[in-house]
Amino acid sequence: MSRVWNFSAGPSCLPEDVLKECAAEMMDYNGTGQSVMEMSHRSKAYEPIIEDAEAMVRKLMNVPENYKVLFVQGGGSTQFAMVAQNLGIKNKKAAYIETGVWAKKAAAEAKKLGIAVDVIASSKDKNYSYIPRVEKITGDYDYAYICFNNTIMGTHYEYIPETGNIPLVADISSCVLSEELDVSKFGLLFAGAQKNLAPAGVTLVIIREDLIPEVENCLPGTPTMLAYKTHADNGSMYNTPPCYTIYVLGKVLHWIEKNGGAAGINKLNVAKADLLYNFLDSSDFYHATAVKGSRSLMNVPFLTKYSTAETAAAGKKDEADRTDAEKAALAKEKEINDKFVKEASAAGLVNLKGHRLVGGMRASIYNAMSIEGVKALIAFMEKFAKENA
């Protein structure tokens, strides 16, 4: 079977060149007679792998010398707690901008740990379809928190809030290295690897050194493994790291470098996104859900003409309260969406089902998705629209 076009929101597609390299080295890495999967993380064979991965992160993201690059486990969801436990230690107060599920979950986790969370802006009023404009954040906050790219809602910050002396924390899981980013404007950045960097299993953390407290100065009860100091002092190897995932991450970073680095990849990403959004905006059958000016280059949720404000409102009602007309409209909407996903999959375009909070479909077009894949999707969408209009 030939490879499919994989539009999954994560774990996502990886560059084919990287997959081929990994396959070629699976049984024997660099003449060691073993796979990286089998290799001791303390061995001389593995040491250059993790060192190269860190060096490539620093190079491609222009990480300043006074920042630590860490490889930790637990995904972005663990970072929701670690951020609060390590940074929320002075005033136990933080500012959050709520732009969807992940920012909301991060705020909830901080509250559990006793942080006084101020939601200083939210786009909940329009189902998180836009990014609120907060030019400047002031106050006695220990940190300010944003989710830079919202995978589910398909929104993205087109600006960086000014925070002065307040450390700005950003979840960049679904947009890391899809664009150039000035690391010095942030106190801490983190990214789960499974969107743009590697298979699931490792989380990249970039943190300014002065923000790393001693373990005993974290919030009371913070486990050793949830202190950034633990990982910073031990080169990300306090315990066994996800060795193979870091190995793949290093190869993906070299692939990004070969494709022009963050700037070169961004040009490709803009070209892909422009193709898809221009098609959606000119269509009578489909429409994008994210507002112009807040649209993600990575995640593109879209609906058909059978998804309307009326069906959205009906979907929020209890089933017993829906009229017969509303029930029929919702049934038609579901029928079309299910048909789209099924026929797309049969055509080799997989993982296009939208998240339940948005509905419809979602095409995640991360760095490794080629422009040919986006063109194949548009061709299918044109055909489907003609057949189902």
Q: Which residue has the tokens 């692939």?
A: 255
Half-sphere exposure for 215 (CA within 13 Å, toward CB): 10
* 5 catalytic per annotation: no
Residue 281 belongs to what H/E stretch? Answer: helix 261-282
* 118 catalytic per annotation: no
Q: Which of 337, 260, 249, 257 is nearest to 301 (CA)?
A: 337
Report the C-alpha gap between 373 and 355 in whole angstroms.
Answer: 21
Q: Would you tell me the crossing angle of helices 324-346 and 371-388 to the nearest 10 degrees?
A: 140
Q: Which two tokens stand for residue 125?
A: 């009023």
Helix, strand or coil, per DSSP, at residue 235: coil
Report the C-alpha gap between 268 and 265 in whole angstroms.
Answer: 5
Contact predicate 184/160, CB 8 Å:
no
> Catalytic one among 102, 255, 272, 353?
102
Report the C-alpha gap between 70 and 236 in whole angstroms.
Answer: 6
> Catalytic one among 5, 68, 142, 195?
195
* 93 catalytic per annotation: no
> Catalytic one among 5, 171, 229, 255?
171
Q: Which residue has the tokens 């049969």?
A: 346
Catalytically active residues are 102, 171, 195
